[in-house]
Amino acid sequence: MAGEHIGIKKSNKDLAIIYSETPCIYAGAFTLNEVKAAPVLWDEKILQQSKMVHGVVVNSGNANAVTGTQGMENTQTMASLSAKAVGKSANEMLVCSTGVIGVQLPMDKICEGISLVASKLDDSPQSSNNVAEAILTTDTCIKEIAFCEEIGGQTINVGAIGKGSGMIHPNMATMLAFVTTDAKITQPMLQKALSKCINTTFNMITVDGDTSTNDSVIILANGQAQNLIIDKEDENFSKFCEILEAALKHIAIVIVQDGEGATKLLEVQMSNVLNFERGKSLAKSILTSSLVKTAFFGEDANWGRILAAMGYAGVPLNSENISLTLKSKSGSILMFEKGIPVHFDEDFALTILKEKEIQIIVDMAEGTEIVRAWGCDLSYDYVKINGEYRS
Amino acid sequence: MAGEHIGIKKSNKDLAIIYSETPCIYAGAFTLNEVKAAPVLWDEKILQQSKMVHGVVVNSGNANAVTGTQGMENTQTMASLSAKAVGKSANEMLVCSTGVIGVQLPMDKICEGISLVASKLDDSPQSSNNVAEAILTTDTCIKEIAFCEEIGGQTINVGAIGKGSGMIHPNMATMLAFVTTDAKITQPMLQKALSKCINTTFNMITVDGDTSTNDSVIILANGQAQNLIIDKEDENFSKFCEILEAALKHIAIVIVQDGEGATKLLEVQMSNVLNFERGKSLAKSILTSSLVKTAFFGEDANWGRILAAMGYAGVPLNSENISLTLKSKSGSILMFEKGIPVHFDEDFALTILKEKEIQIIVDMAEGTEIVRAWGCDLSYDYVKINGEYRS
DSSP B313-339: SSS---GGG-EEEEEETTEEEEEEETT
Q: Is A344 exposed, middle or buried (0-12, 13-18, 19+ CB in 10 A)?
A: middle
**What was the pLDDT predicted at B279?**
95
**CA B341 centroid distance within chain:** 36
Confidence of residue A203 (pLDDT cuts 50, 70, 90): confident
pLDDT in tens, B308-323: 999 999 999 988 999 9
**What was the pLDDT predicted at B386?**
84
Q: How far apart are CA B370 and CA B267, in angstroms?
A: 12
* Maximum pairwise Cα distance, chain A: 69
Confidence of residue A38 (pLDDT cuts 50, 70, 90): very high
In chain A, which residue ranges form alpha helices assigned H by DSSP?
A: 38-49, 68-85, 107-118, 125-134, 187-199, 235-257, 276-288, 290-297, 304-311, 346-353, 380-387
Of A147, A148, A146, A144, nearest to A162 by C-alpha is: A144
Residue B142 has pLDDT above 80, yes or no: yes
Confidence of residue B342 (pLDDT cuts 50, 70, 90): very high
Which residues of chain B lie closer than 8 angstroms to A210, CB-CB? 289-291, 305, 308-309, 312
Question: Cβ separation of B213 and A311 shorter than 8 Å?
Answer: yes
**What was the pLDDT predicted at A92?**
95
CB atoms within 10 A of CB B344: 15
Mean pLDDT of B194-222: 87
Average pLDDT, chain B: 92
**What was the pLDDT predicted at A32?**
83
**What was the pLDDT predicted at A174?**
58
Which residues of chain A lie closer than 8 angstroms to B212, CB-CB? 308
CB atoms within 10 A of CB A125: 10
Q: What percent of chain A has pLDDT above 70?
A: 98
CB atoms within 10 A of CB B76: 16
Which whole-number Å values give the CA distances from B17 to B44, B81, B103, B115, in the listed order? Answer: 19, 11, 22, 10
**What was the pLDDT predicted at A139?**
87
Q: How far apart are CA A162 and CA A252, in angstroms?
A: 8
Least-confidence region, from A143-147, A189-193, A208-212, A312-316: A208-212
Which residues of chain B lie closer than 8 angstroms to A212, CB-CB? 308
Indicate which residue of B31, B98, B138, B174 is catalytic: B174
Q: Is B123 exposed, middle or buried (0-12, 13-18, 19+ CB in 10 A)?
A: exposed
- DSSP lists the bridge partners of residue A53 as A24
Confidence of residue A390 (pLDDT cuts 50, 70, 90): low
Contact B196, B241 (CB under 8 A): yes
Interface of A with B in 78-97 (CB under 8 A): none
Instruction: Please give the residue of chain A at the shortest CA–CA distance from B286.
Output: A210
Mean pLDDT of B110-120: 97
**What was the pLDDT predicted at A210?**
81
**What was the pLDDT predicted at A173?**
52
Contact B109, B187 (CB under 8 A): no
pLDDT in tens, A251-283: 989 999 988 899 999 999 999 999 999 999 999
**What was the pLDDT predicted at B138?**
84
- Rounded to two decimals, the ipTM of the complex is 0.82
Q: To the nearest whole angstrom, how far is the Cα of B239 from the nearest Cα of chain A?
A: 34
Query: Chain A contact for B346, CB < 8 A?
Result: no
Q: What percent of chain A has pLDDT above 90?
A: 75
Instruction: Please give the residue of chain B at the shortest CA–CA distance from A169.
Output: B312
Residue B389 has pLDDT above 80, yes or no: no
Mean pLDDT of A102-120: 96
**CA B190 centroid distance within chain:** 18
Average pLDDT, chain A: 92
**What was the pLDDT predicted at A167?**
77
**What was the pLDDT predicted at A171?**
65
Residue A165 has pLDDT above 70, yes or no: yes
Interface of A with B in 94-123 (CB under 8 A): 100-104
**CA A114 centroid distance within chain:** 25
Residue B303 has pLDDT above 70, yes or no: yes
**CA B128 centroid distance within chain:** 18
Residues constituting chain A:
391
Confidence of residue B49 (pLDDT cuts 50, 70, 90): confident
Of B122, B43, B130, B104, nearest to B79 by C-alpha is: B43
Question: Cβ separation of A66 and B341 shorter than 8 Å?
Answer: yes
Q: Provide the pairing of β-strand A340-341 with A331-337.
A: antiparallel
**DSSP codes of every residue in A294-356:** HHHHTT---THHHHHHHHTSSS---GGG-EEEEEETTEEEEEEETTEEPP--HHHHHHHHTSS
Which whole-number Å values give the CA distances from A328 to A82, A266, A268, A379, in the listed order? Answer: 47, 10, 12, 20
In the DSSP assignment, the letter for residue A34 is: S
Residue A101 has pLDDT above 70, yes or no: yes
Residue B215 has pLDDT above 90, yes or no: no
Look up B174 and say whether it is catalytic: yes
**What was the pLDDT predicted at A244?**
95
pLDDT in tens, B94-112: 999 998 888 999 999 999 9
Residue B144 has pLDDT above 80, yes or no: yes
Residue B174 has pLDDT above 70, yes or no: no
Dihedral, CA of residue B67, residue B73, residue B78 and residue B83, to nearest 10: 150
Contact A127, A120 (CB under 8 A): yes
**What was the pLDDT predicted at B139?**
87
Confidence of residue B182 (pLDDT cuts 50, 70, 90): very high
Residue A94 has pLDDT above 60, yes or no: yes
CB atoms within 10 A of CB B330: 14
Q: How far apart are CA A96 and CA A212, in angstroms?
A: 13
Mean pLDDT of B285-303: 93
Residue B45 has pLDDT above 60, yes or no: yes
pLDDT in tens, B248-286: 999 989 998 988 889 999 999 999 999 999 999 999 999
